[in-house]
């Protein structure tokens, strides 16, 4: 029986980076990094990934940090400018799995209000049987509840799935629930580890032909 392959999206298949937008606001890189780390922080963004509306999140933060109001509002009005391209080689990996008849799913931390930008830009998302979007479920990784939702909805066992994510905390959460896991760092190392776990000779050949070692 072939394993079920479950992908994270941002940082694995899709390049999403707030720097793409905020370099247009800040001429000083250090100031921008402070803003991204301390103002529009990962913790703040996770609130929207967990279902809080962009409007409410932006308004709350703008009141708390009025000196950055314009830049904070841009998170909502210019969000699409943070969205880069697909991550090198990974869509080809997805296409390989699809052609080889692997069952493909995704679990992503993403605001329900912005996911349509990704759906419009990346045709390869259509290769997934399901995409579990945290903002729609009102719960985000690494909370194990989102993995439970995914498994119950699709009537799957964690032990039948391989989960790929770039965030170690998400990998640890999935592993604790019984998923086989691959921590994504580079496309080449990710695919080599997948090939070893799956034992798919076609994937090994794909590596030799398509993936360069970083």
How high is the pLDDT of residue 36? 98
For residues 203 and 131, the model is more confident at 131
The pTM for the full model equals: 0.94
pLDDT in tens, 86-139: 998 899 999 999 999 999 999 999 999 999 999 999 999 999 999 999 999 999
pLDDT digits (tens, 9 = 90+) for 141-195: 999 999 999 999 999 999 999 999 999 999 999 999 999 999 999 998 998 899 9
Burial class (CB in 10 A: 0-12, 13-18, 19+), 84: middle
- Per-residue pLDDT for 27 more than 50? yes
178 - beta bridge partners?
A: none
**pLDDT exceeds cutoff 80 at 25:** yes
Mean pLDDT of 13-24: 98
Q: How far is CA 134 from CA 61, 106, 116, 210, 213, in A?
A: 21, 11, 13, 32, 33
pLDDT of residue 213: 44
Assign 212 a pLDDT band (cuts: 50, 70, 90).
Answer: low
Distance, CA of 129 to CA of 117 (rounded, Å): 19
Which one has a higher pLDDT value, 201 or 16? Answer: 16
- pLDDT tens digits for range 48-72: 999 999 999 999 999 999 999 999 9
Q: In sequence order, which residues have a C-beta less than 8 Å from that of residue 51 and are 6 or more positions away?
A: 112, 134, 135, 136, 137, 138, 139
Residue 1, pLDDT score:
82
Q: How far apart are CA 150 and CA 105, in angstroms?
A: 9
Inform me whether the pLDDT recorded for 211 exceeds 70: no
The reported pLDDT for the residue numbered 199 is 86
């Amino acid at each position: 029986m072939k394993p079920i392959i479950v992908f994270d999206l941002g940082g694995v298949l899709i390049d999403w980076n707030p720097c793409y937008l905020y370099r247009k606001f800040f001429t000083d890189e250090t100031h921008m990094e402070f803003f991204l780390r301390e103002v529009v922080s990962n913790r703040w963004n996770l609130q929207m990934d967990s279902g809080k509306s962009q409007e409410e999140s932006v308004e709350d933060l703008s009141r708390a940090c009025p000196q950055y109001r314009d830049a904070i509002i841009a998170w909502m009005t210019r969000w699409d400018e943070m969205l880069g391209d697909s991550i090198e080689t990974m869509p080809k990996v997805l296409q390989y799995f699809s052609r080889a008849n692997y069952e493909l799913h995704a679990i992503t931390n993403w605001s329900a209000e912005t996911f349509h930008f990704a759906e419009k830009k990346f045709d390869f998302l259509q290769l997934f049987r399901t995409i579990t979007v945290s903002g729609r479920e009102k719960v985000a990784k690494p909370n194990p509840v989102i993995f439970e939702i995914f498994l119950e909805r699709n009537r799957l066992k964690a032990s039948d799935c391989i989960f790929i994510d770039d965030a170690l905390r998400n990998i640890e959460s999935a592993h604790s629930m019984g998923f086989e896991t691959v921590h994504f760092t580079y496309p080449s190392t990710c695919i080599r580890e997948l090939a070893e776990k799956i034992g798919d000779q076609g994937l090994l050949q794909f590596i030799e032909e398509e993936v360069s070692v970083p």
